[in-house]
Structure 1
């Protein structure tokens, strides 16, 4: 056991449970390189930050190198990885943990010994603001539980290959032990994976089943389905991680420990958080392995103050934006038009207004200008939700031409008229947010000639006002949008005949049913250009007779989403 002196530092705080998975697989081959199997806004002054991070930090680190069952190949560096991580966490100049316990000897790494160590950990007088880090490095595998469901298991020293269910440490059991802790700041570090190579040896029957199973139905890591708020992985699911003799560690863990000396302090607040350490290790692991190992992360929720693994908060950090969402994986984040990195991950930015954009394959998914302040952490997922939920209203200025489709009505009732006006579209307001409602008010006037049955061609001044309402769905593909739906329009029409012997005004008010369709193009985060066509069935009284004729038009608009 490493027992560092108590350090008078502000301790990490988090109001939700954080689970941290670092999947790092070690191979046993005697080669130099082997394979191993909503927006959160923070505006706190320094005193508030210090108060939020009070509490003690404790760690239990387990490394399993050797196995009784020869079916599990012995590993090279799990014990050393646990020892190296323990020294970093115990060092007063880095982690400053109050206690660090390392279990790496054979008698300490049996299933019973590990469960006993976890229960002893739970017996401590934990406080909600205390931090506990549990690290396990060794083989992992998949096996069926008592109900026949495929589950993840950690392989202890005495786990038997033919009886994983009865002798292995099920992830659910480990999770239950951690849930007994009174601390609300729990970090689980699993240096194991289950891809079927290296540390993640799988029974032949399981391998055969996985090979015949579609990828979408392969069991995901248990941590991804738990109540975890944060899941970090040394490699992507189904991908082998690596260790290296030159580093004498597995590659990801080497760089993760390296981040704790301060190099991972991305936002320059004096401390290294779990996500900062992961992002540092992710970038360097990717480079070191020439893209063969892709550390990944899954984040469902992040509290206002992340878990700090090293250092002391001395000042509010630079603003940060981040995403660990699977749906944004592979997107490039641009800041003020410059590439800031590929997601998942986070970046620290200078405070002030910054133009953020998400790009993939040359296409722009999202772009907006965001005001960022010191100590602020913004989740890109939440910003996208704000765009989806908040920017569903569009106010527009519209101009176009409306008129009757048949020549007789254009000659005798109303010539084509240039119209201008305003529009408002409310997105997702009906039928559980499936239908939009659009309202347009346009008007126009002109002086032309009409051909009447009596009197021949006569000059006429006309005015028209149309109020239309459209209800229907809309779809968006990147910048392109399409909308359609039934429409009802009310038309007020005034005609003034100016003759030498006759001065007569006629006024009509009628309501027409019809249909409208539109195509839009998003210029930026809020500016939209749209073309809308409409077709109405018009009932027009002329000279005491009612005509049923077609009426249509085209409107061009420029809108602002808010």
Structure 2
């Protein structure tokens, strides 16, 4: 008997270790064959918007707001979001450094970097097209080419940052137009399902258009990106959107809605060590099973046989709806004096149609707000509260 104890203990320890390892991943996908694919332990995003340009570029009044909206959507999906507004070159490089050399070094993290602002393409002396993203203090190249090249961030610099990332997956999105020389433009259909190959390292890039294509300040790219993460790009309805699915969706939709004025480009870095995997967005958390409403089974209702029982038709019309709740910064949520977990991640709750009182609170940040909403039968009402 004593000899069997170490073996049983060893099996228990191995099982516990494997279970704990899986639970440490925030994003765990299931393939179509049922295999578990461990993806990410933590999700991080850097969102950058440049609206106020200083030297010869037209201002983009919506760029900072667009970046904020993208940040809110990513926060709803569980990302820890860093926001940078109207950066100079030095501020932009510092933001990249802080982000990439901190959270970008966790090998099981995933990173999203989103930039909304001017982009530009220049043909270099040796014939190559070079794309640039433009910080607020870069001069217009028509007026000062040397100053522009000194201040703008070229794609070779972005590529160098991408290679310095240790995180498994990184996705760069540019709501700008320029040449995508650092990545192979994808023309293949995305895989139908997530597999073990999905978890391999990858650096992916999506731009709002090609070189010299105008990008309107009222961004079509931003609107379609948000719709994609709300489920429109999930063509196989598995609850995930991959980077390749996203690129294909944006290319298709932006071309149509821009009337072929914009042609988004997407692809993976030109490196066989970093082009095998695929970025994965988990669209939203599953409803919390602790908040499912069930009828009280301890009371059996039997109609009186001497009286014809008819259900109250007005009550039947009440029905149920769904609330989808999130906040930034994260808060605890109380609905009709019942407390739920912190949001984000998203809380999805099935409730009786009618009036409900929702309270958001975070004691550390001294946040407290109460709202009253009306939920209709069959409605899926989304509520996002942002606190400054």
Could you state the TM-score of these two structures normalised by the residue count of structure 1?
Answer: 0.38
State the superposition RMSD in angstroms. 3.4
Aligned with residue 272 of structure 1, among 238, 241, 247: 241
- Given the alignment of the two structures, is residue 102 of structure 1 paired with residue 83 of structure 2, yes or no? yes
Matched residue, 1:241: 215
* Residue 81 (structure 1) shift: 1.3
Which whole-Å CA distance do the structure 2 matches of 1:293 and 1:148 have between them?
24
* Residue 127 (structure 1) shift: 2.4
- Given the alignment of the two structures, is residue 311 of structure 1 paired with residue 280 of structure 2, yes or no? no
* Residue 268 (structure 1) shift: 1.3
- Give the secondary structure class of the aligned counterpart of 1:222: coil
Q: Is the 8 A contact 2:121 2:130 kept in 1?
A: yes
Which whole-Å CA distance do the structure 2 matches of 1:140 and 1:12 have between them?
36
**Cα deviation per residue 1:400-419 (whole Å; 9 max; x = unaligned)?**
xxxxxxxxxxxxxxxxxxxx
Which whole-Å CA distance do the structure 2 matches of 1:132 and 1:294 have between them?
24
Structure 1 unpaired stretches of 5+:
1-6, 14-41, 195-219, 245-249, 315-562
Which whole-Å CA distance do the structure 2 matches of 1:148 and 1:158 have between them?
27
- Given the alignment of the two structures, is residue 58 of structure 1 paired with residue 36 of structure 2, yes or no? no
**Cα deviation per residue 1:505-529 (whole Å; 9 max; x = unaligned)?**
xxxxxxxxxxxxxxxxxxxxxxxxx
- Given the alignment of the two structures, is residue 136 of structure 1 paired with residue 120 of structure 2, yes or no? no
Matched residue, 1:122: 100
Which whole-Å CA distance do the structure 1 matches of 2:128 and 2:248 have between them?
33
Which whole-Å CA distance do the structure 2 matches of 1:265 and 1:190 have between them?
21
Matched residue, 1:287: 256
Q: Is the 8 A contact 1:12 1:55 kept in 2?
A: no
**Cα deviation per residue 1:422-473 (whole Å; 9 max; x = unaligned)?**
xxxxxxxxxxxxxxxxxxxxxxxxxxxxxxxxxxxxxxxxxxxxxxxxxxxx
Q: Is the 8 A contact 1:9 1:312 kept in 2?
A: no
Matched residue, 2:325: none
The aligned length equals: 239
Aligned in 2, Cα 1:56/1:312: closer, same or farther, shift over 3 Å?
same
* Residue 123 (structure 1) shift: 2.8
Which whole-Å CA distance do the structure 1 matches of 2:237 and 2:43 have between them?
21
Aligned in 2, Cα 1:289/1:166: closer, same or farther, shift over 3 Å?
closer
- Given the alignment of the two structures, is residue 179 of structure 1 paired with residue 163 of structure 2, yes or no? yes
* Residue 287 (structure 1) shift: 3.2
| 1:471-490 superposed matches below 5 A | none
Q: Is the 8 A contact 1:65 1:77 kept in 2?
A: yes
| 1:62-101 superposed matches below 5 A | 62-69=48-55, 71-91=56-76, 95-97=77-79, 99-101=80-82
Q: Is the 8 A contact 1:81 1:253 kept in 2?
A: yes
Which whole-Å CA distance do the structure 2 matches of 1:144 and 1:55 have between them?
41
- The structure with the larger Rg is 1
Aligned in 2, Cα 1:76/1:9: closer, same or farther, shift over 3 Å?
farther
Which whole-Å CA distance do the structure 2 matches of 1:53 and 1:139 have between them?
33
Which whole-Å CA distance do the structure 1 matches of 2:249 and 2:184 have between them?
25
Which whole-Å CA distance do the structure 1 matches of 2:154 and 2:265 have between them?
23
- Give the secondary structure class of the aligned counterpart of 2:182: helix
